[in-house]
Amino acid sequence: MSVPPDSPTLETATFAAGCFWGVEATFRRLAGVKSTQVGYIGGPLAKPTYEQVCTDRTGHAEAVEVIFDPKVVSFHDLLEVFWQNHNPTTLNRQGPDVGSQYRSSIFFHSPEQEAEAKKSRDAAQAHFPKPIVTEIKPAQTFWRAEEYHQQYLEKRGLASCHI
């Protein structure tokens, strides 16, 4: 679902911050976010399934791809939401969810996003007593998760996960 070539005003951002259900719900509520999808990124296995990713052996993170209008919401604003809605100081874990698939990551789509992510991480560190362990890496192939994971919380009338 990356930005189509005929949509030059839209941009893509990809975040991993624990279980993708709650992360997606958080970003979907923002003005300027045109669409989201949950999936897997960061591992070498092509077309991983949820069951494979849950083994913690594929190298993938559960992530959310966000298509946004930078005229309405900036990448900087998305980063602020990212830092405020998970604990970036816990390695491979968010709340009760443990494993590298739950790691904190920003997958950048341009040199500008990389620079902004690093600057934002450094500024966010002042708000956390422990070191931020969020990885900042180039975006790779994003594998869309199974349909039942898309907008999971919305389909069930829920606003957030346990975190």
Structural domain count of the chain: 1
Q: What DSSP string describes 77-109?
A: HHHHHHHHTS-TTSTTEETTEESGGG-EEEEES
Tell me, yes or no, whether 112 lies in a domain. Answer: yes
Q: Measuring CA to CA, which residue among 97, 95, 77 is closest to residue 15? A: 77
Helices 111-124, 75-84: crossing angle, 10 deg rounding: 40
In a domain, 25, yes or no: yes
Q: How confident is the model at residue 149 (pLDDT cuts 50, 70, 90)?
A: confident
CB 23 within 8 A of CB 155: no
pLDDT of the residue at 163: 44
Percent of the chain topping pLDDT 90: 83
- pTM (2 decimals)? 0.91
Encode pLDDT of 40-51 as tens digits: 999 999 999 999
Whether the predicted pLDDT of 58 surpasses 90: yes
Domain range enclosing 107: 11-155
Contact assessment for residue 53 and residue 86, using Cβ atoms and an 8 Å cutoff: no
Q: Is residue 110 part of a domain?
A: yes
**Does residue 161 register a pLDDT over 70?**
no
Tell me the average pLDDT of the chain: 92
5 located within any domain: no
Question: Does residue 19 lie in a domain region?
Answer: yes
Asked, for residue 120, whether it belongs to a domain, the answer is yes
Residue 6 confidence (pLDDT)? 59
**Contact partners, residue 81, CB within 8 Å, separation at least 6:** 26, 27, 30
pLDDT reading at 126 higher than 70: yes
Question: Is 94 part of any domain?
Answer: yes
CA 102 to CA 94: how far, in whole Å?
6
Check which CATH number belongs to the domain holding 31 and give it: 3.30.1060.10
Q: Quick one: average pLDDT of 67-85? A: 97
Q: Which residues are catalytic?
A: 19
Q: Is 3 contained in some domain? A: no
